[in-house]
A and B are shown apart, each in its own frame.
Chain A
Amino acid sequence: KAGVTQTPRYLIKTRGQQVTLSCSPISGHRSVSWYQQTPGQGLQFLFEYFSETQRNKGNFPGRFSGRQFSNSRSEMNVSTLELGDSALYLCASSPRDGNSPLHFGNGTRLTVT
């Protein structure tokens, strides 16, 4: 099976712009989660989608949003970018039974200047 695919791998944006990141889960996985990784805050949960519905949400401002399509692919959007949004954004997929591990993609490295 192909792994979790995230595009693009790298992005450079300017403050105030918006950005959309894409994630294709492992075939058959219906749950997609997003995480932000920064040196200061570590790995933090953004949100989870399951069957096109947001099931869980972390403590991030409304500028961070996402959606999931019927084929389980997911997109994450950040509007009005701030310097502090510079981070590695990781997507993970799983079958969503509790014992199954999350499988992560290579991430998208976002730099905001």
Chain B
Amino acid sequence: AQKVTQAQTEISVVEKEDVTLDCVYETRDTTYYLFWYKQPPSGELVFLIRRNSFDEQNEISGRYSWNFQKSTSSFNFTITASQVVDSAVYFCALRAPDTGKLIFGQGTTLQVKP
């Protein structure tokens, strides 16, 4: 069975702090895709980053970076120098090939205080 776990329910930081959101996944597929989405109060899920299972290279994109470790089934997401506008619910999601089905974690609510 596929499963995504985000152990952190809520995180509160002060602006300019770095923050890491944890994600652990379970799947029996050898090929799969991992995503992070952000959901601001408006409700729309905004795509942030993705990683496929056969590419463990970690990258940085602006203030966002991610650490994908297949050995521990983790896909952690870091925001550097957080800003108040980063306050939102963040979801980690798993997708099998050739399907539009995403398995979401429960989400982590991030509050960035000025």
A residues near B (Cβ < 8 Å) are 31-33, 35, 42-45, 48, 50, 55-56, 58, 88, 90, 92, 94, 96, 98-99, 101-107, 109
CB <8 Å contact, A45 and B101: yes
Give the Cβ gap from A54 to chain B, nearest Cβ, in Å: 11
Report the interface size for chain B: residues with CB under 8 A from the other chain: 26
B residues near A (Cβ < 8 Å) are 31, 33, 35, 37, 42-47, 50, 52, 91, 95-107
Give the Cβ gap from B88 to chain A, nearest Cβ, in Å: 14
User: How many A-B pairs with Cβ below 8 Å?
Assistant: 69
Q: Within 8 Å CB of A31, what residues of B?
A: 100
CB <8 Å contact, B101 and A104: no
Given A43-B104, A99-B33, A99-B52, CB of A56 within 8 Å of CB of B99: yes
